[in-house]
Structure 1
Amino acid sequence: MKILAFAASNSRQSINKKLAGYAASLVPNASVELLDLNDYELPLFSTDKEQELGHPALAQAFFNKITAADKLIISFAEHNGSYTAAYKNLFDWVSRINNKVYQHKPTLLLSTSPGLGGAASVMRSALHSAPFFGADVKANLSIPRFFDNFDTTHHKMINEELNQKLIEAIAKLNDET
């Protein structure tokens, strides 16, 4: 089984990338690919740019990564209550290749932030829109106060209750029903 995991963030120190990577490491017997959105940086989407560029190779490459995966783990960073500009721009480009960006893949949606909200606002947006764009959302989890609950040195969840919830979310991702 091939898991594609990524943070919907272009921060080089992304806590969402750390969370996505950790979550993916909990999937038994999986081959994991952890993407960095910085490898898929594109010009700001507009219909004018689309007419000029068509479907850029990086957008197609990102779409192809989703195609090659069996399951997806996406962890959303929140900027002003919404998606990061980097993710939204890449998503806009990829959605022009195929509106079903997530290609009906079983998907685990995560989010985290340093604050109490755990990026819950962007999670609500993702839960609402992801199925429309072809995500088969099996589970979701927001992690509040990331630095209080995750050991960034050892790359693991230190809050046992949240870790158990994440394990349960992974089990739902793996549920074939």
Structure 2
Amino acid sequence: MKILAFAASSSRQSINKTFATYAANLVEGAEVEVLDINDFEIPLFSEDREKELGKPALAQAFYDKISEADALVISFAEHNGSYTAAYKNLFDWTSRIDMKVYQGKPALLLATSPGPGGAKSVLGAATTSAPYFAADVKASISLPSFYDNFDVATQSIKDDAIATELAVAAKALKG
């Protein structure tokens, strides 16, 4: 099984990338590929730019990475209660290739933040909208107060209830 994991964040030190990588590696026997969406940076989407540029090769490359995966683990950073501009832009361009961006793949949707809200607003939006874009959402989990609940040194979840919930969700990706 091949899992594609990434953070919907352009931060080079993304805690969401750490969280997505951790969760993806909970799937026993899976091959995990971790993407950095910075590798898919393209101009801001607009209909005018689309007429000018067509479908950018990097949007197609992102879509192809999803195609090659058996399952997805995405952790959403939250900017002002919503998606990061970097992810939303990449998603918008990719949706012009195919509205079924997630291609029917089983998906584990995550979010975390340094604060107690755990990026629940963006996770709620993602969980609600993802099925419209052909994601088979198996679970969505928020990790509040990342630095209190994730041990960076040991790469583990400190809260037993969240760790158990995440392990169960990761198993669900296998079907």
* Superposed CA offset, 1:24-57 (max 9, x none): 1110110000000110001000011111111111
**Distance of 2:80 and 2:10 partners within structure 1:** 15
- Count of residue pairs the alignment pairs up: 175
**Distance of 1:173 and 1:32 partners within structure 2:** 13
2:143 is aligned to: 143
**Distance of 1:62 and 1:122 partners within structure 2:** 21
Give 1:173 deviation, angstroms: 2.0
Deviating above 4 A after TM superposition, structure 1's stretches of 4 or more consecutive aligned residues are none
2:167 is aligned to: 167
Give 1:143 deviation, angstroms: 0.5
Unmatched runs of 5 consecutive residues or more in structure 1: none
1:92 is aligned to: 92
3-state DSSP of counterpart to 1:130: helix
Give 1:154 deviation, angstroms: 2.4
The letter of the residue matching 1:110 is L
Give the TM-score normalised by structure 2.
Answer: 0.98
26-35 vs 147-156, greater mean Cα deviation: 147-156
Unmatched runs of 5 consecutive residues or more in structure 2: none
**Distance of 1:24 and 1:95 partners within structure 2:** 24
**Distance of 1:13 and 1:151 partners within structure 2:** 15
**Distance of 1:76 and 1:10 partners within structure 2:** 11
* Superposed CA offset, 1:82-132 (max 9, x none): 000000000000000000000000000000011111100001101110000
CA RMSD of aligned residues (A): 0.8
**Distance of 1:169 and 1:144 partners within structure 2:** 17
